[in-house]
Amino acid sequence: MTRAIRTVGLTKRYDATAVVDRLDLDIATGEVFGLLGPNGAGKTTTILMLLGLTEPSSGSMEILGLDPLRHPLDVKRRVGYLPDAVGFYDDLTGRQNLRFTARLNRIDDMDGRIEALLEEVGLESAADQPAGEYSRGMKQRLGLADALVKDPSILILDEPTTAIDPEGVAEILDLIRRLAVEEQVTVLLSSHLLNQVQAVCDRVAIFVAGSVVAQGAPHDLAAEQVGHVRVEFRFADDVDRARARLDQIEVVEDVTLGSVPNSLIATLDVGTLPGTVNDLVAGGAQIVGVRRVDDDLDAIYRRYFEKREEVTA
């Protein structure tokens, strides 16, 4: 394996609070790796440390074998970065903003590369429109093109699909996958959107309160979990009374509204399924449907998040 990014015990503290706590990452060349977690989990701080924009409190990191703090310019030449809040010169057109970036990076044949990038991100028709008139989604697209201008070996994307319509999201995710497969670009993707991470990432690290609580391919994370199922029950009682009944059952891990009137969906460990279902049916509940959830990244994340909350409570 050719390594693109490596961190060992990477930690960032503000006073007594660890925003990122002993992070170990080992990301291969051409891999799409997801940092998954809610806002405030430590994802953006991790990215800023990897870019050499903030200094870690302890631990070490390497980008393409280089320490970002000792060799910041070498790292920045080889890494493209799309921040969560991307900014451009509003009075310049999208094309002019990309030309400015290209000149800063001393790119040859800049016009040919810029035209290709504008087409890739779907902005060719708006290329000569001032960036100040762009929507948030258009600025995200321009930001992705800007990150790709210098033909980077590593692409770091912080919430790259914010404010982009569903069709545009599919196009951006497809572009990310093509860059990894066809050009061996390593992509580090930060997101709180579970379905998008699952759709494009080879591996993910689940962040909760500054710590990585799980790391691996989504299907491997699912395999590590005890099997769970979601059972939808219809009750004769009203929903509030039925929910209170389910909440009293210790082995029921989660309760959500069902798809039909007076129904609720209970998440259960498969080991407790027969006894729990028998008791509820004997009490008058009807089974509407049953579904496994082990391959659902949402369920995996929620389980880890709830475990972490229980430990820190």
pLDDT at residue 306, rounded to an integer: 61
pLDDT at residue 106, rounded to an integer: 84
pLDDT at residue 1, rounded to an integer: 62
pLDDT at residue 293, rounded to an integer: 67
Spans in the chain with pLDDT lower than 70: 1, 222-227, 293-313
b/e for 8-23, b at 16 or more Cβ within 10 A?
eebbbeeeeebbbbeb
Domain span at residue 258 reads: 226-293
Whether the CB-CB separation of 51 and 80 falls below 8 Å is answered with no
Whether residues 59 and 204 share a domain: the answer is: yes
C-beta atoms surrounding 257 within 10 Å: 11
Domain containing residue 41: CATH number: 3.40.50.300
Residue where a domain stops, chosen among 169, 195, 217: 217
How far, in Å, are 119, 285, 310 from residue 125 at the CA level?
Answer: 9, 57, 51
- Residues constituting the chain: 313
* Token duo for residue 267: 């998440």
pLDDT at residue 156, rounded to an integer: 97
How many folded domains does the chain comprise?
A: 2
Question: Residue 192 burial (CB < 10 Å; 0-12/13-18/19+)?
Answer: middle
Whether residues 184 and 61 share a domain: the answer is: yes
For residue 241, the cross-strand partners are: none
Residues 246, 252, 257, CA angle at the centre, nearest 5°?
A: 60
Domain containing residue 243: CATH number: 3.30.70.920
pLDDT at residue 313, rounded to an integer: 46
